Amino acid sequence: MKIISYNVNGIRAALKKDFIGWLKSANPDVICLQEIKANKEQLDLSIFEDAGYKYNYWYSAQKKGYSGVAILSKIEPKHVEFGTGIESMDFEGRNIRADFDDVSVMSLYLPSGTNAARLDHKLEYMDLFQDYVNTLKKDIPNLVILGDYNICHEAIDIHNPKMKGVSGFLPVEREWIGNFIESGFIDSFRYLNQETQQFSWWSYRANSRANNKGWRLDYAMVSQPLQEKIKRAVILSDAVHSDHCPILVEIE
């Protein structure tokens, strides 16, 4: 199963940049989207179906034009879970999960901590999410959680490791994602690319992408029972529909 995750920073904007043409070329079995910034009623779903993604599921934020996640699949899932059932997490539409026969795939969009209030929300969200996943794994051990975690884990994951006072690279955030991995997950890209410095997000300011001054914020976290089935994990930095680029993991 080839799975892609992509924070599209607005699916309608991405569609105007030939997102569908790119999707057909990339040809994943499943694609997880974050920051869709749309309700499905605002989209012509036939264009995704015509591209081969008959099964598409959208979970939007209550606030229009904000946040939201989706899963598009060529394979019909056995079950789709919209949200987590935790109100403080779900009102911004940040989690959707599709359960297949041998693996469950979640699209995740962790909050950013752009100011003190949002950082508090992010830290609370991270704690709630860890507890949620700890329980979920008891019933669904074969779990792949892809998405924009809004955290750089190690110094290699950020162009300037001195930025320790900026949300996304705060010690408390880095400690959390380290603990999340220790709780039973594999950072699939780092597992197969131990020394590679490659990024998945660049600020729109100061020509950051052209200068490759980026952050690796997007992860495909694979639960440990699937470790031997991780065949490939890459960052698709040539895709330019967003300030993020897609990431890919292939599970046997």
Catalytic positions, please?
148
CA dihedral angle for residue 62, residue 65, residue 71, residue 74, rounded to 10 degrees? 130
Residue length of the chain: 252
How far apart CA 116 and CA 107 sit, in angstroms, is 26
Query: For residue 13, which of 45, 35, 32 has the smallest C-alpha distance?
Result: 35
Q: In angstroms, what CA-CA distances link 210 with 75, 198, 206, 240?
A: 37, 13, 9, 12
How far apart CA 172 and CA 191 sit, in angstroms, is 23
Q: Six-digit token pair at 163?
A: 């930025």
Query: For residue 95, which of 110, 76, 78, 75 has the smallest C-alpha distance?
Result: 110
